[in-house]
Chain A
């Protein structure tokens, strides 16, 4: 594939070739060594123990499969030297950039993309070993999303096929399907049957299930028959009310002459116990292998491993550690960690682009040509600072991902809508958790009176309530034709958000702007000593919420 091939990994030589010709490149003209930050990661990294790699998701990688299946350092070397010649690059969108950066950035993004399959596995060796050992029985693989289940099973499939080939057995038929794509749950049997070489008896009334059952209970006509490896992803789509399909599926492996190995993948840990109790008594309980959520070490290791194949440093180590720590604390989802790394790179890209534009507009390009040596040091310093992803970029990427947009939106709501939210919080402060629009209106008018803001009429009020309903801040329910009788509720979580957002507004000095959102609120706030700007990171948010709960402030006073 042309584009894939073009995105080659670069070597030092390439870097230097690009450097000498680009104009705005802040490269020290002294010698051919790259700036000290971009040290070449040695390719002789310690080789991972198990040969099975750990890609992130289904689908064989187009570019790396042929060359990097068995990860060995010299394999990568070979890849490097082969692809060195490719210099065309699809960087049409950044004409002002120096070529080096754009190529490398797309490299890095590729390496960190969720769909890229890296060549080495890490942190899943135990599970894979167990899976391989117990392939005789049926297996149930469970774990949270993003923990590498489908991926590992894909590699198991690969390994099994390879092993069967090496050991002289006939290669098994593999059926990998996603149960969410089945229209009817019993279609799965038809699919399993389709893989088997049985005469087509679809015209008869017997269902595929019965056919399979017949097949597996009789002695086969010919001596050896192929094994079928069935990998059923997202098994919980097969759960019906009477759990018949799931049950029959697992029972298929128990027949005397069964030739199928079943691997089921789902999220619930107790699926087998809860939905298949009868299997226990029949002594064919599936082997349950739990893929636990990744820990901090594991996430860090996987990230580093993905970046190890690139010949330059992209992240500052503390930045990676922060990302790994935060994601491990939140969910242990590897996809999230990769996403956050990529958005950190994008933030860096945007910053560099901005500074490049500033450089463009301010510096004199001609002068640069003439006095290359003289002006080189100053831009070099700037470039060095922004060339790697620092902990600041990572922190803002983290806050963008984990921050809920509710606080921002509430702060930027128009004044009357904020008052409506205030009146809702006040109304629902006691035991009452829902009310009607008319009562909300009363509460709203009270607050308006106390702050000397003229209240709006009922039509505008109900249309504002509807706008807030659309945004998910209030919940309007009820089928009443009369607007006034619609029920209004608000989420408990939102109350804290609303409180928080409006408190921040009260403390902001809006000075001089024509739309002062908070200056008309005459509320007094007790003892709030912290100040913050509008940009509140996720870490601070939690701190502030706990502060409020501690103090239980009563802000709605005249």
Chain B
């Protein structure tokens, strides 16, 4: 019983760690060469030297741009308690200039305990922002603008970017503009005036190397050996985990998984899955957890669908496939029936069913979305006459049939013959 409690507690701890992106990225941010330290150096030197700067964070989604930025900002807020105020904008919400200026004015008002009026016009808001920048410059307070989805701000006339970057060109204001984007060519999207005012600093968030991933895994999965867990349990858990991490097969699994998408978030999602499968009785992670997590995450729903099909339905699918191969691009149920009959005539199979039974099977396939109507007008006509198309690829069909328990050999031959 006590063992299970410990296991549950351990599971809770691991899951909460995996759900918190800040925790994961702390492990990756120790070296001097990491993006965390570069960003921190840049922003803190801008604050202390009171000069303006702009920087762009680029990287695929889930590579930790916002997480690292939040780490840096929280550290800086502790180091310089009264010298920073942060304004956050998102390209998805505030891409229109009016909205953006209103939001900036509102956040500035909230920070400095002023009263925000919703009736203020665009002009008023922009004047307010420039005045606030000047005031904060005089008071040596740096305003940090965080522009999420930066490439969406670069649509249209780019007035917001222009006024922000223009305001930063004068000595009277102290601001740092941090743009975050997943598009690599985000700075090419800028207007030439805006690009000239933007200091071409870019931080690229690349996927971590294997040593970093190893370190990350240890950081997240090893239990703390302090008093929160009974020492023998924690030590046993950690030892088991280290053996798993050193195992070649584990590396193979991680390798396969990261070949699809090597961002950290993707890895965390996988680890969550693996950890949730932990066996609560033994209270230890095992290699099997990781293996099953991999197969669970990489699902092929259509293949699984095929496994549930009946033989008649498989026949129908194969007929449709043959029709497609014969370059008949638009066919309906009647054509499929003709093909089915012709198959039966050429190869005497035992699976010849009546038309209404086939229609039922056809409808099942439609419901399961293995096939679908070729155009939307087919809703009004009856099923028999509306053109249909296959919604799974021949590759998947082939694979599905291979893994089907009792697929008649005829079908396989029929598939292959036309290839």
A residues whose Cβ falls under 8 Å from a Cβ of B? 1-4, 7, 56-59, 61-62, 90-93, 106, 109-110, 113-117, 144-146, 178, 180-183, 234, 237, 267, 333, 335-336, 339, 342-343, 346, 350, 354, 400-401, 404-406, 408-409, 412-417, 438, 441, 445, 456-460, 463-464, 467, 470-473, 482, 513-515
B257 to chain A, nearest CB (A): 9
* Most chain B CB neighbours (cut-off 10 Å) among A335, A406, A482: A335
Minimum C-beta distance from B153 to chain A (A): 15
Give CA–CA (A109, B47) in the complex, Å: 13
Tell which of B121, B199, B210, B298 touches A339, judged by Cβ atoms closer than 8 Å: B199
Chain B residue numbers with a CB within 8 Å of A180 are 157, 159, 162-163
**B355 contacts across to A, CB distance below 8 A:** none
Q: Which residues of B contact A400 (CB under 8 A)?
A: 200-202
The residues of B that contact A417 with a CB separation of less than 8 Å are 260-261
B171 contacts A62, CB within 8 Å?
Answer: yes
* B-chain residues with CB within 8 Å of residue A237 when the two chains form the complex: 157
Distance (whole angstroms) from the CB of A317 to the closest CB of chain B: 24
Does B236 count as interface, using CB distance less than 8 angstroms? no
Residues in B neighbouring A3, C-beta threshold 8 A: 50, 140
B32 nearest CB across to chain A (Å): 7
Q: Judge whether A113 and B52 touch: CB under 8 Å.
A: yes
A471 to B205, CA, bound (A): 12
Contact across chains for A405 and B58 when beta carbons are under 8 A apart? yes
Chain B residue nearest in CB terms to A456: B260
Rounded to whole Å, the gap between the CB of B23 and the closest CB of chain A is 24
A93–B123 touching, CB < 8 Å? no
Task: Say whether, besides A1-B138, A115-B171, A414 and B32 are in contact (CB < 8 Å).
Answer: no
Q: Are B258 and A470 in contact (CB under 8 A)?
A: no
B172 touches A406 (CB 8 A): no
Contact digits for B369-404, partner A, Cβ 8 Å, 1 yes 0 no:
000000000000000000000010101100000000
Chain A residues whose C-beta falls within 8 Å of the C-beta of B262 in the assembled complex: 412-414
Docked-complex contact A471 and B52, CB < 8 angstroms: no
Does A106 lie within 8 Å of B49, measured CB to CB?
A: yes
Report if A92-B259 is in contact (Cβ < 8 Å); known contacts: A336-B200, A354-B32, A515-B210.
no
**Which residues of the partner chain A approach B32 to less than 8 Å between Cβ atoms?**
354
- Report the Cα distance A457→B168, complex, angstroms: 49
Does any Cβ of A come within 8 Å of B182's Cβ?
yes
B206 engages A408 (CB within 8 Å)? yes
Would A61 and B183 count as touching, CB distance under 8 A?
no
Query: CA A514 – CA B185 in complex, angstroms?
Result: 30
C-alpha gap A536/B183 in the complex (Å): 21
Shortest Cβ distance from A242 into chain B, in angstroms? 19
Q: Residues of B within 8 Å of A, CB-based: how many? A: 66
- Contacts A4-B50, A457-B396 known; list 5 others, CB within 8 Å: A106-B48, A110-B49, A183-B121, A237-B157, A346-B42
- Our pick among B159, B197, B200 for the contact of A401 (Cβ within 8 Å) is B200
Give A354 to B41 CA distance when docked, in angstroms.
13
Q: Which residues of B contact A456 (CB under 8 A)?
A: 260, 298
6 tightest A-B CB contacts, nearest first:
A59-B170, A145-B196, A57-B169, A472-B183, A414-B262, A415-B259
Partner of B171, one of A117, A408, A482: A117
**Residue B122 at the A interface, CB < 8 A?**
yes
Residues of B at under 8 Å CB distance from A?
32, 41-42, 44-45, 48-52, 58-61, 121-123, 126, 138, 140, 157, 159, 162-163, 166, 168-172, 182-186, 192-193, 195-197, 199-202, 204, 206-207, 209-210, 251, 255, 258-262, 298-303, 391, 393, 395-396
Complex: A56 Cα to B166 Cα, angstroms:
12
How far does the alpha carbon of A346 sit from the alpha carbon of B53 in the complex, in Å?
13
Q: Are B196 and A333 within 8 A (Cβ)? A: yes
Whether A515 pairs with B170 at a CB distance below 8 angstroms is no
Complex CA–CA separation, A7 to B48 (angstroms): 11
Q: Indicate whether A404 sits within 8 Å of B184 (C-beta atoms), given known contacts A92-B48, A115-B170, A115-B171.
A: yes
The answer to whether A181 touches B123, judged by C-beta atoms less than 8 angstroms apart, is yes
**Cβ-defined partner of B169 (8 Å) among A114, A416, A459:** A114
Residues of chain A within 8 A of B61, CB atoms compared: 467, 470
Chain B residues, Cβ within 8 Å of A404: 184-185
Given A414-B262, A457-B300, the answer on whether A405 and B204 have CB atoms closer than 8 Å is yes
Q: Which residue of A lies closest to B207 (CB)?
A: A412
B373 to chain A, nearest CB (A): 11
CA distance A459 to B251 in the complex (A): 24
Residues of B within 8 A of A1 (CB): 138, 140
Q: A3-B50, A145-B196, A416-B259 are in contact. Are A405 and B184 (CB under 8 A)?
A: yes
- Inter-chain CA distance A405–B207, complex, in Å, is 14
Bound CA span A495–B199, Å:
27
Chain B residues with CB below 8 A from A471, complex form = 60, 182-184
Chain B residues in 8 Å Cβ range of A57: 169-170
CA A441 to CA B122, docked complex, whole Å = 48
Which residue in B41, B162, B207, B210 is a CB contact (below 8 Å) of A514? Answer: B210
Instruction: Give chain B residues whose Cβ lies under 8 Å from the Cβ of A438.
Output: 393
Which residues of chain A are near B195, meaning CB under 8 Å? Answer: 145
Measured CB to CB, the closest approach of chain A to B201, in angstroms, equals: 7
Q: Flag if B393 contacts A458 (CB, 8 Å).
A: yes
Query: How far is B97's CA from A182's CA once the two chains are assembled, in angstroms?
Result: 12
Pick the contact of A445 from B58, B123, B162, B395 — CB < 8 Å? B395
Min distance, Cβ B191 to any Cβ of chain A, angstroms: 9
Residue of A nearest to B197 (CB): A335
Q: B49, A408: Cβ atoms under 8 Å?
A: no
Structural contact, A116 and B396, CB atoms closer than 8 A: no
Closest to B202 in A: A405
The distance in angstroms between the C-alpha atoms of A183 and B125, with both chains bound, is 12
Do A409 and B182 contact each other (CB < 8 Å), given the known contacts A61-B171, A350-B41, A457-B300?
no
Q: Is the CB of A464 within 8 A of B260?
A: yes
A-B contact pairs, 20 of them (CB 8 A): A3-B140, A113-B51, A115-B171, A146-B196, A181-B126, A183-B123, A336-B196, A339-B200, A409-B206, A413-B262, A414-B258, A414-B260, A438-B393, A441-B393, A457-B298, A458-B302, A458-B393, A458-B396, A460-B298, A482-B391
Find chain B residues with CB under 8 A from A515 CB: 209-210, 255, 258
Contacts of A463 in B (CB 8 A): 261
- Neighbouring B residues of A342 by C-beta, 8 Å: 199
Measured between beta carbons, the chain B residues less than 8 angstroms from A467 are: 60-61, 261
